[in-house]
């Protein structure tokens, strides 16, 4: 069994780290740089920055955040959100990203995956799938943060992604995102059975037993985790008021913790994995 990677995922809107539920209702949690550094120092294996409004606003602020962090956070950094052209990819790589995450542009034009993989190398291209379970049990891929339906079946799309030369797939269960109800194991399994490239589970990370299931049963190679890490990190990081000039700050300023979600640290997850005989890189 390979070493399972634990990847904090940071959704970014403008200058802020945000987190929503089902990819919507974004709350401001703090500065992405502070959280990124905290996760790096606490044993993160990689980081994901997802610009959640890139399709709506200009993206220079993200490039600045990448450049500021990539210099001293010496682990792989994946950046996604609104990347539509080979030039878009080149610019985020030049800013310091190691991999890019494609979704909307890839599903609208699958050849984009092939072009990107041949120009930048397969290992640089990750394709993200936003899956929503239908009433009939099928999983369909969505774009634009789970807002727009494509009619594309998730499993077929995953196979196509692999054939087109992507190095990795990140599968988000939009239904579970931000809920801490657990990764959707059936969704994971349906994909990992059909592709040989690594699959990162995302959406719903919660209790440890479910994490173990997502690895043993779901065959995930990595877990992308947001809410449960963010709510723990938030309490350890001290923010100044000017961090919160934009966006929905009422949650952050209220001093509430999200009572439904039991937060935890990367080290908690890694100790659990170790006890469960799941190999991972230890927190140093």
User: Taking CB under 8 A as the rule, does residue 196 contact other proteins?
Assistant: yes
Per CB under 8 A, the list member of 25, 56, 57, 121 interacting with other proteins is 121
Nearer to other proteins, 25 or 121 (CB): 121
Per the CB < 8 A criterion, the answer to whether 48 and 80 are in contact is: yes
Per CB under 8 A, the list member of 16, 42, 124, 190 interacting with other proteins is 124
Q: How far is the CB of 167 from other proteins (least distance, A)?
A: 5
**Which residue is catalytic, options 45, 130, 177, 181?**
130
User: Taking CB under 8 A as the rule, does residue 37 contact other proteins?
Assistant: no
Q: Is 96 exposed, middle or buried (0-12, 13-18, 19+ CB in 10 A)?
A: middle
Per the CB < 8 A criterion, the answer to whether 114 and 122 are in contact is: no
Q: How far is the CB of 26 from other proteins (least distance, A)?
A: 29
3 φψ region: left (φ > 0), alpha (ψ -120 to 50), beta (else): beta
Among 48-56, 71-79, 139-147, 176-184, the segment contacting other proteins (CB under 8 A)? 71-79
User: Taking CB under 8 A as the rule, does residue 70 contact other proteins?
Assistant: yes
Nearer to other proteins, 71 or 256 (CB): 71
Among 53-61, 92-100, 179-187, 230-238, the segment contacting other proteins (CB under 8 A)? 92-100
Is 11 tagged catalytic?
yes
Joined tokens for residue 256: 């509430």
Q: Is 98 exposed, middle or buried (0-12, 13-18, 19+ CB in 10 A)?
A: middle
What percentage of the chain's residues is helix, strand, coil (to nearest 5)?
35, 25, 40
Among 14-22, 24-32, 73-81, 260-268, the segment contacting other proteins (CB under 8 A)? 73-81
Joined tokens for residue 130: 């936003």
User: Taking CB under 8 A as the rule, does residue 221 contact other proteins?
Assistant: yes
Per CB under 8 A, the list member of 61, 123, 248, 263 interacting with other proteins is 123
Per CB under 8 A, the list member of 94, 108, 147, 260 interacting with other proteins is 94
Per CB under 8 A, the list member of 96, 179, 213, 247 interacting with other proteins is 96
For residue 182, give the 3-state DSSP assignment: coil
User: Taking CB under 8 A as the rule, does residue 118 contact other proteins?
Assistant: yes
Joined tokens for residue 144: 């634009």
Is 130 tagged catalytic?
yes
Joined tokens for residue 201: 């589970």
CA distance 123 to 192: 18
Q: How far is the CB of 123 from other proteins (least distance, A)?
A: 4
User: Taking CB under 8 A as the rule, does residue 235 contact other proteins?
Assistant: no
Strand partners, 142: 130, 149
CA distance 232 to 228: 7
For residue 259, give the 3-state DSSP assignment: coil
Instruction: Name the CA dihedral angle for 250, 253, 257, 260, rounded to a multiple of 10 degrees.
Output: 0
- Give the binding site for other proteins (CB under 8 A): 2-5, 40, 45, 70-71, 74-76, 93-98, 118, 120-124, 167-168, 196-198, 221-222, 280-282, 284
Catalytic residues: 11, 130
């Amino acid at each position: 069994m390979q070493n399972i990677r634990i990847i904090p995922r940071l959704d970014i809107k403008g200058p802020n780290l945000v987190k929503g539920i089902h990819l919507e209702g974004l709350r401001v949690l703090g500065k992405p740089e502070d959280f990124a550094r905290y996760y790096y120092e606490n044993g993160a294996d990689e980081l994901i920055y997802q610009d959640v409004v890139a399709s709506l606003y200009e993206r220079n602020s993200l490039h600045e955040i990448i450049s500021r962090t990539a210099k001293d956070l010496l682990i792989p950094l994946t950046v996604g959100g609104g990347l539509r052209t080979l030039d878009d990819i080149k610019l985020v790589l030049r800013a310091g990203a190691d991999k890019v995450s494609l979704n909307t542009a890839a599903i609208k034009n699958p050849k984009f995956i092939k072009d990107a993989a041949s120009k930048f190398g397969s290992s640089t291209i990750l394709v993200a799938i936003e899956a929503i379970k239908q009433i009939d049990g099928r999983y369909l891929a969505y774009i634009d943060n789970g807002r727009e339906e494509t009619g594309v079946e998730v499993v077929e799309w995953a196979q196509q992604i692999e054939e087109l030369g992507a190095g990795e797939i990140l599968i988000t269960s939009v239904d579970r995102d931000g809920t801490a109800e657990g990764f959707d194991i059936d969704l994971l399994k349906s994909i990992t059975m059909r592709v040989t490239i690594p699959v990162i589970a995302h959406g719903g990370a919660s209790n440890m037993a479910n994490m173990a299931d997502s690895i043993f049963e779901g065959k995930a190679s990595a877990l992308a985790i947001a809410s449960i890490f963010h709510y723990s990190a938030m309490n350890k990081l001290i923010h100044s008021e000017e961090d919160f000039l934009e966006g929905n700050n009422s949650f952050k300023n209220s001093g509430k913790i999200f009572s439904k979600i039991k937060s935890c640290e990367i080290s908690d997850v890694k100790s659990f994995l170790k006890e469960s005989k799941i190999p991972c890189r230890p927190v140093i």
